[in-house]
Each structure stands twice: as C-alpha cells, then as structure tokens.
C-alpha cells in the first residue's frame, strides 16, 4: 500500500501511436508520456501459476494482500489460502496491517490443514517512521536507522513464526537516497544470511529514483510494488525498466484505482464474450502485461474468481490494445 500522499506526474516526452486492429473509430495517437505500448513488464511466461524471480524464488502470479483487514486478518487469510492462494503480502505496520494475525493464520493452516510454511510465499515490509502510527511503531524510533531495520525484521519473524521470509520489501524510499541505501544494506545482510530470499521496493514512482537504487544495490531488487493507476501513467517507463532488468512489477489497488476501465463498454463486451466478470478481464489484462497483481478481496466468491484468472487464456493482441487505449485516455483526462 502507498505510504505517502505524493503523486508523481512526469513531463510529457513523446507521442505514442497505438494501432487498434479493426477499431477505426478510435483515436490511436495520443500526446502523453507513454513512449511505446509496453505489452509485457517482464520476460516471464504469461501462463502458469508461478514465476521464477531474478533471485530464484518461485513467486505466485497472484498474491493475497492483507492491508486494512484488521481483526479479520487471520480468518480472511485462511479463506484465501484454502481457496487456492499461495502468496501473502503483509507489513510490520500496525497502522494498516496485522502482521501478527498473518502469523496466526500460518500456524492454523499448518496445524489444521497440513499447509506448511514452506508451501507459501510470504512477503513483508519494513516501514519507516514516516509511515507508522506514532502509537504503534514496532521498533525504537530513536535508535540508529540500521537498528530500526534490525528490530523491525526481528519482530516480523516473530510475528510470522518463521525463520525467513520469501520477499522483504522496503515500504517506500526514505527521505534521502543515502538513508534508503542504509536500509537496503541491512536488507542485503538478511539476504546473505538466508533470512530474506529476495528483496524489493515499493512506492517508487520516479524512474530516476528507482534507477539509482538499482544501480547502487549490490543485491538487486527482484520486485517493485506500486499502485497501478493513471496518475503515474501506469508506470509505463518504470515497467519498461523493470522488464529490461528482470525486476517483476507487482500492482496494488489494481481494481480500486481503475473503475473507469471496469465500467467501460470495451471490457464489458470482453466479459460477455468470455463469460467472465469485468474484474477477471482486467486482472487477465494486467497479468498479460507481465504484472503480478495483489488482490485484497474479502469475498470468498471473488477469491475463487480471482484465481480462475490464472487459467484463462491470454487476451488477444487486439483486446490488449483496446484496454491499453482506455489507459491512455484516462491518463490524458488526469492531465487536464
């Protein structure tokens, strides 16, 4: 989830032409920051339920997000995993997550259902003081930054009742690049000790900022988790960078931030054609871009419908182009 209120809109830098087969009535040239249609955010296969990251981790292509679940966290994770989810995203940030209740769910899943910790992909985050509720900071905010990270991660392992996490993500960059790299160096220690199988960043919406982090990191980020919405031109440039450097882009607020696409006639027509929901069509589109989306649904039927997307056939090139055009139009509208 986003830990800052900042929105980053880049200066326009090019004109993109999107050719829509059989769509002569659609304006196919739009003046905006999309340098080119990015129809894949990574080099991973667009089929299957898992992807192998640059760190060699088997990561599910659909992840269950636990933000804002509060006291329902354990029950909802149980339902999600029993429905078929094998990836869980959390954070040591009581303001928005109950990491301890994620751990409770993991214990119950193993004890009552035989689903072992090692059968699941667990991703958690270090959240800086800026993103914490002052009343519930899980470490000493007056301690040196390195010690804050150590305390936070130790508590995460305790909360989750595990000796390692599959993915450790920085919830957002620090106020300075130097401090960001201080945190990252501690992350790299955890990685070398086998306590964090892969590392990642979240809420980085400036390409130059992410490029600098990537360049200065000894252990490169395996994932970038961002909000997928029009305000940032759907991170087109960032996703292109991720693809070129084998970083997997994870999306959150994938549905919530895009109601205009879900309600569009284009997506409704596709849903009718395939006998799917509009949400399933958009999730399939996102996956066909090479993105690993998060879903935070609390509805069991929606959990099952979300997982069905993994077994859908990829959308056609023409269908992808139609939805991409909706994204371009929405970004243009946000600029006005």
- Collapsing DSSP to helix, strand or coil, 64 comes out as strand
For residue 152, give the nearest of 120, 117, 121, 190 by alpha carbon.
Answer: 190
> Quick check: is 113 in a domain?
yes
> Quick check: is 84 in a domain?
yes
Report the alpha-carbon angle 108-114-117, nearest 5: 70
> Quick check: is 195 in a domain?
yes
Q: How many domains does the chain have?
A: 1
User: What domain range is 237 assigned to?
Assistant: 14-335
> Quick check: is 197 in a domain?
yes
**pLDDT at site 264:** 97
**pLDDT at site 305:** 98
Query: What does the pLDDT profile of the chain (336 residues) look like in tens digits?
Result: 544 333 222 222 222 323 222 333 334 333 344 444 444 555 566 568 999 999 999 999 999 999 999 999 999 999 999 999 999 999 999 999 999 999 999 999 999 999 999 999 999 999 999 999 999 999 999 999 999 999 999 999 999 999 999 999 999 999 999 999 999 999 999 999 999 999 999 999 999 999 999 999 999 999 999 999 999 999 999 999 999 999 999 999 999 999 999 999 999 999 999 999 999 999 999 999 999 999 999 999 999 999 999 999 999 999 999 999 999 987 777 665
> Quick check: is 309 in a domain?
yes
| Cβ atoms within 10 Å, residue 274 | 15
**pLDDT at site 332:** 77
Helix axes 317-335, 265-274, angle to 10 degrees: 150
For 259-266, which contacts have Cβ atoms below 8 Å and span 24 or more sequence positions?
Answer: 260/326, 260/330, 261/323, 261/326, 261/327, 261/330, 264/326, 266/322, 266/323, 266/326
213-246 b/e with 16+ CB inside 10 Å = b? bbeebebbbbbbbbbbbbebbbbbbbbbbbbeee
**pLDDT at site 19:** 28
What is residue 72's DSSP assignment? G
**pLDDT at site 8:** 26
> Quick check: is 258 in a domain?
yes
CATH number at residue 249: 3.20.20.100
77 φ, ψ (degrees, to nearest 5): -65, -40
> Quick check: is 1 in a domain?
no
> Quick check: is 7 in a domain?
no
Q: What does R_g of the chain's alpha carbons equal in angstroms?
A: 20
């Amino acid at each position: 989830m986003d830990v800052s209120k900042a929105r980053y809109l880049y200066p326009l830098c090019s004109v993109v032409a999107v050719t829509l087969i059989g769509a002569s009535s659609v304006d196919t040239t739009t003046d905006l920051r999309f340098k080119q249609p990015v129809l894949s955010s990574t080099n991973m296969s667009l089929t299957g339920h898992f992807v192998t990251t640059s760190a060699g981790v088997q990561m599910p292509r659909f992840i269950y997000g636990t933000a804002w679940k509060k006291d329902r966290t354990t029950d909802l994770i149980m339902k999600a995993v029993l429905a078929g989810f094998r990836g869980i995203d959390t954070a040591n940030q009581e303001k928005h997550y109950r990491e301890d209740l994620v751990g409770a769910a993991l214990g119950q899943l193993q004890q009552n259902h035989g689903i072992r910790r090692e059968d699941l992909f667990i991703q958690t985050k270090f959240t800086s003081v800026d993103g914490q509720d002052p009343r519930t900071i899980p470490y000493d905010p007056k301690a040196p930054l390195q010690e804050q990270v150590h305390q936070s991660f130790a508590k995460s392992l305790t909360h989750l009742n595990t000796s390692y996490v599959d993915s450790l993500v920085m919830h957002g960059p620090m106020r300075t690049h130097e401090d960001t790299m201080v945190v990252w160096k501690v992350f790299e220690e955890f990685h070398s000790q086998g306590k964090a199988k892969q590392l990642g960043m979240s809420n980085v919406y400036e390409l130059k900022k992410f490029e600098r982090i990537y360049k200065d990191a000894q252990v490169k980020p395996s994932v970038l988790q961002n909000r997928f919405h029009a305000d940032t031109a759907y991170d087109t440039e960032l996703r292109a960078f991720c693809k070129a450097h084998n970083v997997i882009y994870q999306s959150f607020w994938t549905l919530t931030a895009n109601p205009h696409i879900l309600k569009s006639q284009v997506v409704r027509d596709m849903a009718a054609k395939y006998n799917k929901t509009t949400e399933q069509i958009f999730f399939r589109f996102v996956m066909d871009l090479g993105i690993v989306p998060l879903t935070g649904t609390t509805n069991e039927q929606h959990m099952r419908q979300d997982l069905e997307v993994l077994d859908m056939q990829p959308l056609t090139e023409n269908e992808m182009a139609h939805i991409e055009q909706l994204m371009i139009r929405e970004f243009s509208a946000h600029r006005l």
